[in-house]
Structure 1
């Protein structure tokens, strides 16, 4: 792994919101509207975080009708590094469970 190539990836991963997004989509897909609810942030703010993750190929998107769902890019050259980092972070499933309980999980669909 070259330092010049790793630095931009680590810079993107240096943000709490982006790390949480990656942990949330580690094993499942999520829609922008779910991130908006979880983080209590505006859709444009969430989209900026997703764009940064997508620009370095850490996430991929899948269109379902008019909605876009995000998942961890399993083909990323950085997947091993990302998985090693995510393995050290606390589980975030409770955030999605709370959305389900409140009826807000996938409100866009």
Structure 2
């Protein structure tokens, strides 16, 4: 079982609306920073900072594909977050608009 400190750190990360929204998006599929920027209509530095915090907290993984870095969830080893993840709203509709687009 994880320590109270690890649980507290994870919950603090998820207490931010933008980071929680990013987690909901990544629940659907892995995404590049530019996809998240477009969907959330914010700046690349803003999203990169949130992703950096989520990565440092062990909640997301990053994978390089060519020149792009893609992010995916890393919560399978954190069962205490499953209830939160189950309650996140579907982002399929928001992602449908990005299906045929790629980062430039």
Q: Give the TM-score normalised by structure 1.
A: 0.84
- What is the distance in 2 between the residues matched to 1:65 and 1:43? 19
Give the count of matched residue pairs. Answer: 103
Specify the alignment match of 2:88 in structure 1. Answer: 89
Q: Deviations over 1:57-78 (max 9, x none)?
A: 1100110011000001155x42
Q: Secondary structure at the match of 1:71?
A: strand
In the TM superposition, structure 1's runs of 4+ consecutive aligned residues that sit over 4 Å from their partners are none
- What is the distance in 1 between the residues matched to 2:83 and 2:102? 28
Specify the alignment match of 2:36 in structure 1. Answer: 35
Which residues of structure 1 form unaligned runs of 5+?
Answer: none
Which residues of structure 2 form unaligned runs of 5+?
Answer: none
Kindly indicate whether residue 74 of structure 2 is the aligned counterpart of residue 73 of structure 1: yes
Question: 1:11-26 to 2 correspondence within 5 Å?
Answer: 11-26=12-27
Q: Give the TM-score normalised by structure 2.
A: 0.88
Specify the alignment match of 1:107 in structure 2. Answer: 103
- What's the RMSD between the two structures over aligned residues? 1.6
- What is the distance in 2 between the residues matched to 1:97 and 1:82? 26
- What is the distance in 1 between the residues matched to 2:28 and 2:81? 13
The offset of 1:28, in angstroms, is 1.4
